[in-house]
Every structure is written in C-alpha cells, then in structure tokens.
Amino acid sequence: MHRPEPGPVSRRSLLRGAAVGGAALAAAPLFNLSAARAAGLDSGSYTIRFDNGARQTIKGLGFEIQSDSIGSGNNGMPDLVSGVPYDLTASERTRFYQQMLKVRSDRGFRYCRLALGLYHRGVSADGKHLVDRYDGQTALLAEMIGQAGIEGVAAEYWSPAPGWKANDSLVGQSADGRTAYGLASFAPADLDALGDAMVADLDHLAARGVPISMWGLQNEPDSPAKYSSCFYEPAQYLAAFKAVAPKIRAKYPNVMIHADSRGGWSGDRGKALIADAQALRHVDAWTYHRVGAYADEQITGDFTSGALGRPVFNNEFEYLHPTSSFNRTINTAHSIMNWMTFQNAPTWFWLHALKPTTNSESKGYSLGFWRPPSDTDFSRYPNIRPGHWDFNPENWNAVSGFVRYLPWDSVRHHVEEPVHDDGSAYTDHRIMAWKTAQGKQIFAVTNRSSSQPWTYNVDTQTTATFEGHRYGPTIHNQLLSKLTGPTLSITVPPLSVEFWVRTP
C-alpha cells in the first residue's frame, strides 16, 4: 500500500521503443505521418496467431473497495463510519454498480479485494473475530457484488483481530515508528486457534451473501504501518501460513490461496514457503505489489522463473503521488498488458474503485471519487454532491477498456511483432490479442509517444470487420471507423489505447 514509486525514468529508456538503428523521431505535429516516415520510424507489422497461438486464460480484473474510513494520507483510522457503498445515496449506489463495476450488460470486474481488519474491521466482544463495524456493512457488500455481477471477494488480512496481536491492536506499528507488532504467539495451539478464527471470519462474510474467491494471510507482511497491519518475519509467516492455509482449503476448497501480497515467490516470505513442501502445496498463486511502477519492468523483469508453475499477478496497483514522471494512463494500460503478455498473468488488480474527496491520496489511488456526507469543503471536487461520486479519468480511462472489452475467461493469443536488433520488445507500442470465451476476436494496441503517431499493420488472419474504441487521458471509449481484414492499417495517435473488436 505504501511501496515507494521508482525515480524518474531516463530519457534513454523512454526513447528506447522509438528508436531503430540509432534513428529517433524528430518533433513533428500530431498525425504528420510523412514527417514520421522521413525520420525512419512510424509503423510496424504484426500477425495475430488466432489459429494456434493460444496462451493463458485471463480470468478478469479486480479492484479494492474502501468500505470503511482511513485517515487522509493513510494516517491512522478515524472512528468516523464512512465508506462505499455505505455513504452513497440509493440511486448513486446503483449507478456505481452499473457504470463502474459492471460496465457491460452482463458483468465487468470479477474480483473485489476486501481488506480484512482495515476496511472490514469490526471486532467481536472476545477480540478474536472480525465482524461488521456498522449495521449492514456486509449486507451492502453483498448487494454490491450481486448487482455488479462480481464473482466474489479476494479476502486478505491487513491485520487479524486484535486479540491475536502482541499489542492488542489492529495497528501494526508503534506511534514513534520504531516497533513492529505481529502475533502475540506462534505456539502451535495458538496458531491452530488462529486458523479456526480466520475461517470463522470468512464464514461471517459467506453467511451474509459475500462469496469468497481468493484468500491471503497478510497484505505486505514486511511493512508495519500506522493503520491496520501485522508484521511477520519469514519464519513466522511460514508457521502461520502452515497452520491457517490448510483450514481455509478444507472449508473453502475452490478459493485461490496466494502469497505473499508483496514480493511473490522472490521475497523472503515466498522463499520460506518454497523451502517447505507442506506449505507450498497450499500456494495457488504468487502475488506482487508493483505500486506505480514503470510498466516496462514486466517486459524485462523476472517474475516467473521461480514460480514453480504457479501463476503470478499484481494484486495492487496505484500511484502514491498525483504526478509521475510518465503518463499514468498509458503506463497503467501497459502494466495490465505487460503482466499478461510477458508474465502470463491470469488477472490484475487496481487498488480502489472509489476514494473519498477528503483524502490526499485519492487522486492517485482511485478510479473515481465520492463525497462523504461529512465533507462540506467544496473547494475540492465542487461538482460532486454529498453521497454522490464521479470518475477519475486519468486512472479510469486506463482500466475501463479492459473491463469492457476483456471479458472473463478470455484466452490470450500470441502476436508476432517487430523487435529491436537486440531482440528486445518495443516498449512504447504494445499489442495484446485474445478471444472471448465465445470465440470473439479482440486486440488492444497502444502508443506511449507523446508526440508521434504509430501505425500498426495487423494481419488478423480473417476477412472479418473490426470496430475500434479509443481511450486516453481525456478520451473515453471513442468510437472509430470500422476496418476490414485480413490486414488492418491502424494509426494510433499519441498517448492512446485502442481496442479493436470483431463484428459481429
């Protein structure tokens, strides 16, 4: 949740995808193709292997829901009861479910990440279980899941109930930041009881209509914070996982159990799981947090060599600061595409659907904003009334096209694409293709350049017609002219993402 963003990207790396044989494009007016051609780089040829290039099944995307309050700048947890859907008016709830979470007529996002001990942090009288903090909290989540067509929650602890903690608190760090708090005991009997309590926490949700799709022992177990958190040394994480995960598996056999919600298999806690065969058999997937990271790292980085055949994916992505050294809209789209194309990820999670107008981190964290009834400062987001919400275009336009045009259980197909002389992939111009579960052919193309268009000459291996839809920092689902195959010549303007959908 608070991993530092990388520093500014070098000009050399930014230009890497726009240089061939040492020739880089000179500045030119937008859409001036003749000038781009004269500079030696304006297009590439691509072949989509819809015939025999099937790769992984992409399950669908995920988001996190803030169903309770957190302090501005992640500074503590106020007593104020505030969250979504709770704060929204009845009509705004429906609009939220339909326009952001569902998007299509059938379904949109597949998973809702639920922060246990943080955004679902009510505590039972004995201090050992998590329950609703306000009346109807879980019922509202069930309503949201049902009306938005979401499969279920990715339930993950930010902290177990305080009765299990060394400091008897959800918070994982002392006020002076010098002490990290974890579990009070790692004795086998206590871990066994903790496992039973965590199963009961899931039972509380499931009994009230919230299906469980994924489970994680701890968000960022190496990072105690001044909000809900719990610190585990690698050996402690292993011990707790070995005690709890089998109980989760026994009660919820179809749930995806993942680790470690920070550094995957390559982190110290992941390595501890790998070294223990009994623990490893309960790991279904490895999860990473690449918060605000430059998306080229999914092309050049190693996220799979030690995964032991298990899928890897990002289950938290956001920007810690309102500004970045790169265009956030295109970088986010590239993060989705590069995780799936180069790391074979089956899903990808944005951090928050909505964040409150009151919080300083909201612009970088959210797909949209809502105004809590308690917020009367209309100098911020004056267009949003209390109990209402609006989109955050720079982030929403990056994610929403994939929610709309990448349906659940689509199968990615390989694309033969140009590479640099050293064999490395183009980074400014990305392409990804897939077939829906019903066999409809779709592909996405991007142009990260801020000044030059790029033409994709795409062999679709069919004479079918494709319809384009364009997104950008200020563009949302702009309808483009139809093109008929087998080869489509698609000129993508700067800072754009386009989805091309076979019709009918």
Whether residue 126 is found in the same domain as residue 149: yes
Read off the pLDDT band of 326 (50, 70, 90): confident
| pLDDT of 19 | 29
Domain boundary among 385, 405, 425: 405
pLDDT at 325 over 80: no
**CB–CB of 9/382 below 8 Å?**
no
| pLDDT of 117 | 98
List Cα–Cα distances, 60 to 296, 316, 402, 422, in angstroms: 22, 15, 9, 33
DSSP of 289-348, one letter per residue? E-TT--TTHHHHS-SSTTSTT--EEEEE---SSS--SS-HHHHHHHHHHHHHHHS--S--
CATH number at residue 212: 3.20.20.80
Token pair recorded at residue 55: 């790769």
| pLDDT of 412 | 98
Angle between helix 188-207 and helix 234-251 axes, rounded to 10 deg: 50
Whether residue 320 is found in the same domain as residue 418: no
Residue 4 within any structural domain of the chain: no
| pLDDT of 9 | 32
Residue 448 within any structural domain of the chain: yes
pLDDT at 487 over 50: yes
Q: How many independent structural domains does the chain possess?
A: 2
Which residues make Cβ contacts (< 8 Å) with residue 148, sequence separation at least 6?
Answer: 97, 98, 101, 102, 107, 108, 109
CA dist 87 and 93 (Å) reads 9
pLDDT mean over 48-53: 97
Residue 11 within any structural domain of the chain: no
383: amino acid identity, one letter: N
Read off the pLDDT band of 192 (50, 70, 90): very high
pTM above 0.75?
Answer: yes
Map residue 467 onto helix, strand or coil.
strand
pLDDT at 43 over 80: yes
Running DSSP on this structure, what letter comes out for residue 119? T
Whether residue 356 is found in the same domain as residue 436: no
Task: Find the length of the chain.
Answer: 504
Residue 233 within any structural domain of the chain: yes
Whether residue 298 is found in the same domain as residue 439: no
Whether residue 255 is found in the same domain as residue 352: yes
Beta partners for residue 250, in sequence order: none
Query: Can you give the residue range of the structural domain that contains 86?
Result: 60-405
Ranges 29-38, 164-173, 264-273, 423-432: which has the least confidence:
29-38
Give per-residue pLDDT as tens, 92-130.
999 999 999 999 999 999 999 999 999 999 999 999 999
Domain boundary among 384, 405, 426: 405
Whether residue 159 is found in the same domain as residue 231: yes
Residue 1 within any structural domain of the chain: no
Map residue 483 onto helix, strand or coil.
strand
pLDDT at 40 over 70: no
Whether residue 499 is found in the same domain as residue 400: no
pLDDT mean over 337-356: 98
Whether residue 390 is found in the same domain as residue 425: no
CATH number at residue 488: 2.60.40.1180
| DSSP H or E segment with residue 285 | strand 285-289
Residue 285 within any structural domain of the chain: yes
Residue 8 within any structural domain of the chain: no
pLDDT averaged over the chain?
Answer: 92
Q: β-strands 312-316, 349-356: how paired?
A: unpaired
Token pair recorded at residue 89: 């008016």
CA terminus-to-terminus distance, the chain: 42
What would you report as the CA-atom Rg of the chain, rounded to the nearest whole angstrom? 23
pLDDT at 33 over 60: no
367: amino acid identity, one letter: L
pLDDT mean over 249-272: 98
CA dist 79 and 84 (Å) reads 16
pLDDT at 250 over 70: yes
Query: Three-state secondary structure along 256-271?
Result: EEEEEEEEHHHCHHHH
Instruction: Supply angle C-alpha 327, 332, 337, rounded to 5.
Output: 125
Which residues make Cβ contacts (< 8 Å) with residue 260, sequence separation at least 6?
Answer: 216, 217, 218, 221, 237, 267, 269, 270, 273, 286, 287
Share of the chain above pLDDT 90, in %: 90
Running DSSP on this structure, what letter comes out for residue 100? I
Map residue 198 onto helix, strand or coil.
helix
pLDDT at 251 over 60: yes
Read off the pLDDT band of 315 (50, 70, 90): very high
Ranges 18-22, 39-43, 385-389: which has the least confidence:
18-22
| pLDDT of 322 | 65
Residue 136 within any structural domain of the chain: yes
| pLDDT of 321 | 80
Which of 427, 453, 293 has the alpha carbon at shortest distance from 12?
Answer: 427
Whether residue 41 is found in the same domain as residue 73: no
Whether residue 394 is found in the same domain as residue 426: no
Tell whether the torsion through CA atoms of 485, 329, 351 and 340 is positive or negative: positive
Give per-residue pLDDT as tens, 288-298.
999 999 999 99
| pLDDT of 14 | 27
Give per-residue pLDDT as tens, 367-379.
999 999 999 999 9
pLDDT at 218 over 50: yes
| pLDDT of 1 | 52
**CB–CB of 482/498 below 8 Å?**
no
pLDDT at 41 over 90: no
DSSP of 347-366, one letter per residue? --EEEEEEEETT-TTHHHHE
Domain boundary among 366, 385, 405: 405
Higher pLDDT, 34 or 204: 204
pLDDT at 18 over 50: no
Whether residue 282 is found in the same domain as residue 385: yes
Whether residue 240 is found in the same domain as residue 262: yes
pLDDT at 280 over 60: yes
